[in-house]
Amino acid sequence: MGVNEFPTGICSGSGFPTAPGRDTVDRVVSVVIGTIVPVFAVVGVGYLLASRRGMDRSTIADLSLLVTSPCLMFTVLSESPVSGTRALTLVTATLATMAGTALLVWLATARNPARRRGMMLPAVFWNSGNMGLACARLAFGPEGLDYAAVVFVTVAIVNSSAGIWIAKGHGGLAEVARMPLVYASAGGALMAFFGLELPVLVAEPIEMLAAMAIPLMLLNLGAQLRTLVVTEVIPAVIVTTIRMGGGLACMWGFTVAFDVTGVARQVLLLQAVMPAAVINVVMAQRYGTEPSLVASAIVSSTLASLVAIPAVLLWVG
């Protein structure tokens, strides 16, 4: 399916579902099962591994954040066929959705601004890596992964700058300067722009590490979820509603307003219902920004994604 082609069967040109045929339903259900089951199976392995004595979760997290994810971003972006115009659309849609959910949190906490920072982190910054990349690749193939990578880089950079500012109240630029993901993404984009290629001896190990990235992200997600506990149910439900419901409304509005179609539209709408990113609780713990609320929202939204992700896949299928 081309970038500018509109998916047939379940979605009409208006973005609302139409009556699908039996073949379409069977195909989409197959895609949903083929996407959700592998993702949560690997997450489950990570969850079980975390129970083993001596299991070092911080090492898995560091490998994912500092080694394999940058290699994945460099590889995907350096070989990406995504045009500059399409990439700009994806980046703008991502930023607009983050801004929209941030506004919803601001309004929801108008009477209790003390809780604003703790609710802002999990509502605004979603799991575009662990879950977003894996689901996009399984559901929409290499083209979906290319588009999801652009979203991931956008979320990661904003999360590493504005996210840190939200968590601790100021700063963040120094942290961004230390993130390998930023340099790998910039390097990959420049390679693609100038049509350059690395020597095989250099490119091969980078691609090998990149192939580890998504499975390692999912293992890390499962391991981290084992330590998180829901202690603040009502705030977690509010955050989950804003993260998924508000995020989907913002992203859908953007795709309609700017006539985004095809796989790009499918990926954006799928990204909009991803759960809150686990890294948010790390930031909350480090800077004392209501870690129990953030952890509760991550668990709540991850559980909700078991319903939200299949629903969106059926919708955009």
Provide the phi-psi class of 6: left if phi over 0, else alpha when psi is between -120 and 50, else beta: beta
Residue 66 DSSP label: I
The phi-psi region of residue 12 (left if phi > 0; otherwise alpha if psi is between -120 and 50; otherwise beta) is: beta
- pLDDT averaged over 10-residue windows placed end to end, the chain, 317 residues: 35 43 64 80 89 76 83 84 86 97 96 91 92 90 92 85 76 67 85 88 94 86 82 94 98 97 96 91 80 90 92 87
In this structure, the chain runs to a length of 317
> How confident is the model at residue 173, as a pLDDT?
60
Fold classification of 22-316 (topology level): Na+/H+ antiporter like fold (1.20.1530)
The two structure tokens encoding residue 280? 């948010």
pTM to 2 decimal places: 0.78
Environment class of residue 70 by beta-carbon count within 10 Å: exposed (0-12), middle (13-18) or buried (19+)? Answer: buried
Q: For residue range 144-157, what is the model confidence (pLDDT) as tens digits?
A: 999 999 998 889 88
- pLDDT tens-digit series, residues 248-291: 999 999 999 999 999 999 999 999 999 998 888 877 877 788 88
Tell me which residue of 277, 301, 268, 261 sits closest to 8, measured CA to CA: 261
**Residue 261: Cβ within 10 Å count:** 18
Distance in angstroms (rounded) separating the CA atoms of residues 201 and 209: 13
pLDDT for 13 equals 40
What integer pLDDT is reported at residue 10 of this predicted model? 35
